[in-house]
Amino acid sequence: MQFLHLIRLKNAELFYFGLICLILSVVFIVLSRVQDIQVAGTNAWIKPFKFSFSTFLYAWAMACYCSYLPSFNLSLFNWGIIVLLGFEIVYIAIQAGRGQLSHFNLSSSFYSIMYSLMALAASGATLLTAWVAVMFFKESFPDLPDYYVWSIRLALIIFVIFSFEGFVMGSALKHTIGGPDGGAGLPILNWSTRFGDPRVAHFIGMHALQVLPLLSFYLLRNKWLTFLMAALYVALAFFTLVQALKGKPFIAGRSISKVTENKI
């Protein structure tokens, strides 16, 4: 509760935006259990759940990190993120309720425009995050441990790189390599268990934003160990990307595939 109180004091806008996204993620996962709307062979509500929960984690992490910057236009960043990512979640949820694709949908001029707008929104949010990364390299933080500051810097860089990695899927108009979208996948995450799936690297890389600072602050507590962990983390993300580009699944297994097909 003290941690939540501190986030709210540091950045009320992102705190409440993240809270709304968390509540929406609960609503979407419940809907996935009570409604059997299918999109591309999977439950339609899984995608808005993943986007809203991921945005919740992002919003609270950035609320914390941005508060360390002494000279930063916090309001511009906050409302840029709220508008851009909020737009994505709302549109994805509307399309899920209609049983329609949100991403890779070029079936009409309207859907093509909306898909392009989502790409612009994601790119805009990534560029705003890159702006924060630049500020972290320009500023000094005498009151923070150096290993923690470097963990945030490295996490921001990794996030930006693997956020733009999403264009691998966008350019192909699908998230499965070597086979069609949909079908057997890991529970909830829905990563393909039969074909390559760049979403694995996308997920791992973007969530460096939470993983690296937490590990550095609470466990590693050393700058060079933080660098080593960041290197290993990037290596893992790139390995899963190369694996996906070769058409190989992150985790393969018939038993997993059958269970997932029955549930989703």
Task: Give the C-alpha separation, 111 to 90, whole Å.
Answer: 14
Which of 139, 165, 194 finishes a domain?
139
**pLDDT, tens digit (0-9, with 9 covering 90-100), for 129-162:** 999 999 999 999 999 999 999 999 999 999 999 9
User: How much is the pLDDT for 179?
Assistant: 86
More confident residue, 145 or 175: 145
Please give the torsion angle defined by the CA atoms of residues 167, 133, 59 and 82, in that order, rounded to the nearest 10 degrees: -70
| Judgement on whether residues 35 and 132 belong to the same structural domain of the protein | yes
**pLDDT, tens digit (0-9, with 9 covering 90-100), for 72-84:** 899 999 999 999 9
| Domain carrying residue 98 | 1-139
Q: Is the pLDDT of residue 30 over 90?
A: yes
| Judgement on whether residues 84 and 126 belong to the same structural domain of the protein | yes
User: How much is the pLDDT for 255?
Assistant: 42
Is pTM beyond 0.95? Reply is no
User: How much is the pLDDT for 264?
Assistant: 41
Give the total number of structural domains in the chain: 2
More confident residue, 232 or 6: 232
User: How much is the pLDDT for 185?
Assistant: 83
| Judgement on whether residues 125 and 161 belong to the same structural domain of the protein | no
| Judgement on whether residues 154 and 173 belong to the same structural domain of the protein | yes
User: What is the rounded radius of gyration, in angstroms, for the C-alpha atoms of the chain?
Assistant: 19
| Judgement on whether residues 134 and 12 belong to the same structural domain of the protein | yes
**pLDDT, tens digit (0-9, with 9 covering 90-100), for 202-236:** 999 999 999 999 999 999 999 999 999 999 999 99
Query: Could you tell me the pLDDT band of residue 253, with boundaries at 50, 70 and 90?
Result: low
Which of 93, 114, 139 finishes a domain?
139
- 3-state SS of the chain is CHHHHHHHHHCHHHHHHHHHHHHHHHHHHHHHHHCCCEECCEECCHHHHHHHHHHHHHHHHHHHHHCCCCCCCHHHHHHHHHHHHHHHHHHHHHHHHHCCCCCCCCCCHHHHHHHHHHHHHHHHHHHHHHHHHHHHHHCCCCCCCHHHHHHHHHHHHHHHHHHHCHHHHHHHCCCCECCCCCCCECCCCCCECCCECCHHHHHHHHCHHHHHHHHHHHHHCCHHHHHHHHHHHHHHHHHHHHHHHCCCCCCCCHHHHHHHHHHC
More confident residue, 63 or 187: 63
Identity of residue 156: L
| Judgement on whether residues 240 and 260 belong to the same structural domain of the protein | yes
Among 22-31, 67-76, 247-256, the range scoring the smallest mean pLDDT is 247-256
Farthest CA pair distance, the chain: 54
Q: What percent of the chain has pLDDT over 90?
A: 78
